Chain A
Amino acid sequence: MKIILNIWRQKDVKSAGKMVRYEVPTVNEHMSFLEMIDVLNEDLTRKGEDPVAFEHDCREGICGCCGFMINGIPHGPERGTTVCQLHMRHFQDGDELWLEPFRAKAFPVLKDLMVDRSAFDRIIAAGGYVSVNTGSAPDGNALPIMKQCAEMAMDAAACIGCGACVASCPNASASLFVSAKISHLALLPQGQAERDRRAMRMVVKMTEEGFGYCTNTGECEAVCPKGVKIENIARMHRDYIKSAFTYREESTAGGAG
């Protein structure tokens, strides 16, 4: 089948971009969406033109590299599917599609469909962990964890850090991403000691990085390829508000003798 692609082309962070129209006449229904762009890129290269830059690595829907907008929807029309796992059998001969990078102030466009999502790393660095040095752990079964808690924590931990939630949000909020990590650890006993600190520091960092506030529009949940639930945002808000009362930055008064 033939697919018509209008793709955002932008040389680098500083340059302005524009839509360019391409035709891919030899699309096979078993191809993935990215394989279709591979075919286009091979073609462009042979013609001496610059291939389209897009992010990808695992192509199995797990690394979180890939992601751009297809007709205004992050990762395209299939629910629960990253763009690398989207197959062309969901499209029809002659379809015309518009591909654009994820748009958000905190995600500058690097080139074509690629953006810089390093703000996510900085949010995790602000507190998205359990502070436990290598070698100091007790036996794994010393701490029984209710199966259901482990399952719920796993649901939240399934986030792949792709940024689709930000791209879909009218406020460009990263709340779904941030709350997924806060929930993963808040649902487990291991995460309790630092629960307040984590919520406080991660939420503050999210704002500092230029992400917007959550106004409960719910777009994020609809586009999340991993089915991360919006209820996590409610948990994040609760933890954040609670931490405003209970969390204090560490005292610097020394205790050593």
Chain B
Amino acid sequence: MALKLDSKIPSGPIEQKWDKAKFEMKLVNPANKRKFTVIVVGSGLAGGSAAASLGELGYNVLCFCFQDTPRRAHSIAAQGGINAAKNYQNDGDSIYRLFYDTVKGGDFRAREANVYRLAQVSVDIIDQCVAQGVPFAREYGGVLANRSFGGAQVSRTFYARGQTGQQLLLGCYQALERQVDAGKVKMFYRHELLDVVIIDGRARGIVTRDLATGAVESYAADAVVLATGGYGNVFYLSTNAKGSNATAIWRAYKKGAAFGNPCFTQIHPTCIPQSGDYQSKLTLMSESLRNDGRIWVPKQKSDSRGANAIPEGERDYYLERRYPAFGNLCPRDIASRAAKVVCDEGYGVGPGGRGVYLDFSDSIQRLGRHTIEERYGNLFEIYERITGDDPYSTPMRIYPAVHYTMGGLWVDYNLQSTIPGLFVLGEANFSDHGANRLGASALMQGLADGYFVIPYTMGNYLAGVKPGGVDENHSEFRAVKEKVSGQTRQLLSIRGRKTVDDFHRELGKVMWEYCGMGRNEAGLKHALERIPEIREEFWKNVNVPGSEGELNQSLERAGRVADFLELGELMCRDALIREESCGGHFREEYQTEDGEAKRDDEKFCHAAVWEYAGADKEPIRNIEPLNFEYVHLVQRSYK
């Protein structure tokens, strides 16, 4: 059965769509708000801002996170900054330009109306965060400072040293704790969502496991919000936190929420290269470094000289050479692929030839060490701590790594999934970034969704339903709880010979090799054979020690990896069918003469929307056609 996808894009000119939608939305009477309970899963920028704002409006909010406190959500790790179309620099920025840059940067695979709204509310986000006391960087005159970021020619990124995500999240966490104090939000930390509960076709609650005690619990509500972050950890090695997972969205998918563009993943160009097999994660070096760092490789293959011994004339600043207009600031997908190309050709540096230089010597000479220290001091420190090398005196070595997932649960203009009452925010939804996200735009999107979109669209939904009517004793809650506990018992009963991480690493290698920076038909077909084999072995041979009713980190990981083993397959399937290259999805068969991504707008100007069909059935691929009325479809060029 094909899904009926209604994107609910309001009619009218793009500048007026959101105002019109807000005006037409139904409102909940203030006295009735406290009769509604909303579950928010996730306390990152998207979930935290949603929970705080919904609490302020008067709804009863139950907020969940798997860490020991909401302040640890992975948004905390974002370094570089957050975009907003403030045009404080008077350099030609505007809402329209941010909209345009985002649509183009996403290689025309996002919904225009959503992106426009994102650009519109971006300005309110900065105001809100400043009012909360977020210590953004300032100029001497006391006004807010900006920097530029990849994929943009204007300076619109706001930042707080190299800890922008941390400071934005703390602002949002403090707003959340204020609502906890006011009794409007109840916070459940160390609680992992294991399933959503659908009753009469509506999302009515969730089943969780208390990670400290192992208790499986049910929570009923009038609506459920998932803001559980991205699924980059399907690759095992990524810049995501160790606990970042796909469990919430994957289990919702299996309950009927369609999944949009699963294969759209972003590989970030500037990460610290892997150092050994024991590697547990990869560390990002903020893209803001590309403002003042120059990327190069030796002109000679397998050059074994140290970076500083290679004379200027023997260095290939390949981004500046290939993309003179944007140079080191070209979009992420392009910079990542270019690094892979030079390394594949044998010009890479460092162990295994998997690295390129990011060199600050010119800017240190031009601006002085002090300025560089002020801008990037903490990043340089991170680098030195991890590698033991000093980037002030030798260039950094960097290599691309999995960083962000543009794909996610499909949502309409109101951020509602295909399950009524189930809303999805932040990186967890298939979002506004199309096939490639611009730097500093994820923080913007998370906060736009949570502070400025969901408060309206949630009200509109709740105004159309009666509060309550279902509680945790409903037979469906009991059935879901039983199913969840069954899976846990099964995982614990296998007692095989391989660890959870053995399987995760194996899956990661397949994904990186065949569904990473470059993809092709043969590779993807191979992956589609391999992944089910790994999955089958997992369910026969994994060793999950310990028991159910206790704090058990192996069990937590096992459940997450079980989901990655299914999601990975869907990603490869999606990548195989999309016979074009766009943004981060690079199909080697479809490229221009000079190696750039070649879209096929005739056949693929749409979002792929996958529908779960049952355990042993092939999922169904639906499409949401994309219309570009404002930004005209052109081949992206950053030359």
Contacts and interface: CB of A to CB of B under 8 A. Distances in A.
Interface in B127-150: 127-133, 135-144
Given A58-B72, A141-B144, A188-B133, 4 more contacts: A60-B382, A62-B166, A127-B181, A134-B53
Given A133-B56, A184-B135, A28 B130 contact: no
Interface in A141-176: 141, 143-147, 150-151, 153-154, 157-158, 160-161
A150 B137 contact: yes
B385 interface: yes
B243 interface: yes
Contacts of A146: 138, 142
B320 interface: no
B412 to A, nearest CB: 22
A129 B132 contact: yes
Contacts of B290: none
For this complex, into which size category does the number of interface residues on chain B fall? Answer: 35 or more
Interface of A: 11-12, 28, 30-32, 34-35, 38-39, 42, 45-46, 48-51, 53, 55-65, 81, 85, 87, 89, 110-111, 114, 116-118, 120-121, 124-141, 143-147, 150-151, 153-154, 157-158, 160-161, 184-185, 188, 190-191
B601 to A, nearest CB: 38
A150 B130 contact: no
B351 to A, nearest CB: 10
B278 A154 contact: no
B71 interface: yes
B276 interface: yes
Given A51-B553, A130-B131, A153-B135, A135 B124 contact: yes
B385 A85 contact: yes
B545 A63 contact: no
B124 A39 contact: no
15 contacts: A28-B276, A31-B276, A42-B501, A59-B281, A63-B77, A64-B76, A111-B550, A118-B189, A138-B127, A140-B129, A144-B143, A146-B138, A154-B161, A184-B133, A190-B132
B607 interface: no
A150 B69 CA distance: 26
B175 interface: yes
A2 to B, nearest CB: 15
A129 B52 CA distance: 12
A86 B140 CA distance: 36
Given A58-B77, A89-B388, A154-B135, A110 B128 contact: no
A81 B385 CA distance: 9
Interface string B139-176: 11111100000000000000011010011001001110
A247 to B, nearest CB: 16
A57 B77 CA distance: 10
A161 B69 contact: yes
A87 to B, nearest CB: 7
Contacts of B74: 57-58, 63
Interface string B56-80: 1000000000011111101011000
Interface of B: 49, 52-53, 56, 67-72, 74, 76-77, 86, 88, 124, 126-133, 135-144, 160-161, 163, 166-167, 170, 173-175, 177-178, 180-181, 187, 189, 212, 241-243, 275-276, 278-281, 283-284, 382, 385-386, 388, 451-452, 455, 497, 499, 501-502, 543, 545-546, 550-551, 553-554
Contacts of A137: 124, 127-128, 130-131
Nearest to A147: B138
A45 B545 CA distance: 7
Interface centre among A61, A62, A130, A134 (most CB of B within 10 A): A134
Given A45-B545, A137-B130, A140-B86, A121 B76 contact: no
A128 B174 contact: yes
Interface centre among B52, B53, B212 (most CB of A within 10 A): B212
Given A57-B243, A87-B385, A157 B545 contact: no
A153 B553 CA distance: 37
A46 B386 CA distance: 29
A46 B170 contact: no
Given A59-B242, A134-B451, A45 B174 contact: no
Contact of A185 (B77, B133, B280, B554): B133
Main secondary structure of the interface of A (DSSP, over half): loop
A121 B138 contact: no
B543 A46 contact: yes
A118 B177 CA distance: 12
B283 A134 contact: no
B128 A62 contact: no
A28 B278 contact: yes
Given A138-B127, A184-B133, A190-B131, A30 B276 contact: yes
A35 B278 CA distance: 7
Nearest to A187: B135
Given A34-B280, A140-B144, A121 B130 contact: no
7 closest cross-chain pairs (CB), A and B: A144-B142, A129-B174, A137-B131, A137-B127, A125-B177, A154-B135, A140-B130
A57 B69 CA distance: 12
A11 B187 CA distance: 26
A182 B142 CA distance: 22
Contacts of B243: 57
Nearest to A136: B131
A111 B556 CA distance: 15
Contact of B241 (A45, A59, A120, A161): A59
Contacts of B173: 124
Contacts of B139: 147
